[in-house]
Amino acid sequence: MIRKPISSGQPKAAASRRTALRAALAGLGAASLAGCDRLSNNAAFVDVLKSTQHLSHGAQRLVAGRKAMAQEFSQADVAAHFKANGTLAPRDADYQALMKDGFADWKLQVGGLVDAPAAFTLAELRAMPSRTQITRHDCVEGWSTIGKWKGVPLSHLLALVKPRPQAKFVVFRCADSMEDPNASADSRYYESVDMDDAYHVQTVLAYELNDAPLPVANGAPLRARIERQLGYKHAKYLMRVELVERFDQIRGGQGGYWEDNGYEWYAGI
């Protein structure tokens, strides 16, 4: 049995040293924790932490190419109830008026950096080519749920409106205010994706969930499906699709409602 000379010879000194060590460790632990919290409020430090999203995006594009497909599932995998999250029923008066008429007066505006801006009714969108896919919806919170979507591929709409070459991002403008709809500040949900995701085969604007018209809780009448990113990219209650060169002058400048609240723009991780 090995004993340090100090602990067998000078138990008292060793004990007090142990107490001191323990106190020092506890103090160090508490100080590190407080330090982490201070660093979390330091903009420059947080920028360093957040910079890895570019590394992640680049690396992930390398191993899962621009056109790599998200996993698709079978009918048996579809969840009995597709969990809805975020806004479940927009309180905005203009949305409620549209909803009352079964979205008969609703139109999707598609504009921005395009040569042929257009607006489409729900009936027109339903008459276009469609894609049906059973995919898994992964929330940033950690849960997943599998649903069957039917919608018009975004690439089809883009071909109709003829994007200009300088268009780099597609911005989704939504009907739902995340905060008080009557407040002066605009808090309506918005999101953005790059052209890789905009033209991706599985990027559809969905009007059906599980073979039924898209329920209000899940984004009626139309929502985006961005299958290789987390749930907050899949904007619901779509009103307008806008092609832009940059999004830093839109609202908080980070490219989306949750991005303006600290989440990563690249949500593939």
Give least dist CB 193 to another protein, A. Answer: 12
Give least dist CB 126 to another protein, A. Answer: 28
* From candidates 16, 42, 52, 166, binder to another protein by CB under 8 A: 52
Under rule CB under 8 A, residue 208 binds another protein = no
Give least dist CB 36 to another protein, A. Answer: 5
Q: Which is nearer to another protein, 64 or 119 (CB)?
A: 64
Question: Do residues 63 and 56 lie in contact, with contact meaning Cβ atoms separated by under 8 Å?
Answer: no
86: left (phi over 0), alpha (psi -120 to 50) or beta: left
E strands, 96-254, where? Answer: 107-112, 118-121, 131-138, 144-153, 169-177, 188-194, 204-209, 212-213, 223-225, 238-244
Q: Which is nearer to another protein, 71 or 96 (CB)?
A: 71
Binding positions for another protein, 69-128, rule CB under 8 A: 69-71, 73, 77, 79, 83
Under rule CB under 8 A, residue 1 binds another protein = yes
The type of residue at 261 is N
* From candidates 173, 225, 228, 236, binder to another protein by CB under 8 A: 228
Helix (H, G, I), strand (E, B) or coil at 175: strand
Give least dist CB 31 to another protein, A. Answer: 13
The type of residue at 80 is A
Long-range contacts of 45-53 (CB under 8 A, 24+ apart): 50/264, 53/264, 53/265, 53/266, 53/269
Q: Which is nearer to another protein, 67 or 100 (CB)?
A: 67
CA distances from 264 to 58, 154, 208 (A): 14, 23, 28
Q: Interface residues with another protein (CB under 8 A)?
A: 1-4, 33, 36-37, 40, 46, 48-53, 55-56, 60, 63-64, 68-71, 73, 77, 79, 83, 136, 138-146, 227-230, 258, 261-264, 267-269
